[in-house]
Structure 1
């Protein structure tokens, strides 16, 4: 993780920043999946100043070769009018590090009811009484709205930012650029 690229959202009167960030992130995810990348991490350097959201900047972290390979794939098609792409740059010396990971929660009461019916042999009415509509858990974390390629369903990708650390933790990243063990430079 010695290089990075910043993607800054440009203001657009037709689309709010959250919608543009959702679209940008979806395109990044598809690009990482198609390339089979596990060496590119992400961060949202504006998130502390953006309140509960992610801000207007998505930062990609990796090696110069890995980031060049991603950019050569042309995963940004359709977003170039909405994004200002920085030059590939070296990570500053003596930077801190931070982990970003996905957090999942059972938040769909219908799915919880189906599971209770299957696992506990409950009737639909019993499951509805046991698991009311407001029973789904919610998280107080920022999220990206995405659509599942397999099911076509919309879901929220909740992202937790870990504590700032002095040393980097090595590991692999998933197709969202997140990791449960690896950190990215934080500056």
Structure 2
């Protein structure tokens, strides 16, 4: 349960103001069909985070616990710094032009946008740190859904009321603490 809850919390915080959250807002505004967008986000996130979590678990097995303690510590501290840099959606017109349907457009766009994203990197690190892997993938996916589903349904109203800069600073602090704890070997 610990792996699920930590994964959920970390990814939900990391996703606030992230480019994929902005993508959810763009998709909702463009298509005005929330349910296919939410289902598309779910499918894309499950696929992407399953691959990322498996990569983290494989890296842990290959590198060993001592090396991974340092890799994880430095990775979490780097994530803390990265959280302080707000994301923007690089190109709103980068959505597929073909008539793929709202669901498939969302799956495609989200899967690609999540590549190399903060939440994917966090999933790799969490997959390396926690067992069972399924709890990490389900937790990170749930965190993504907690952050993105409300944006799809209530996007504009939420973005005006939530102080994203504060959320980024709190998330950065959490990542920094996790990084220091990993470097100190706490919880190993």
Band the TM-score falls in, shorter-chain normalisation = under 0.3
- Pick the structure with greater CA Rg: 1
Query: TM-score, normalised to structure 1's length?
Result: 0.22
The structure where helix makes up a greater share of residues is: 2
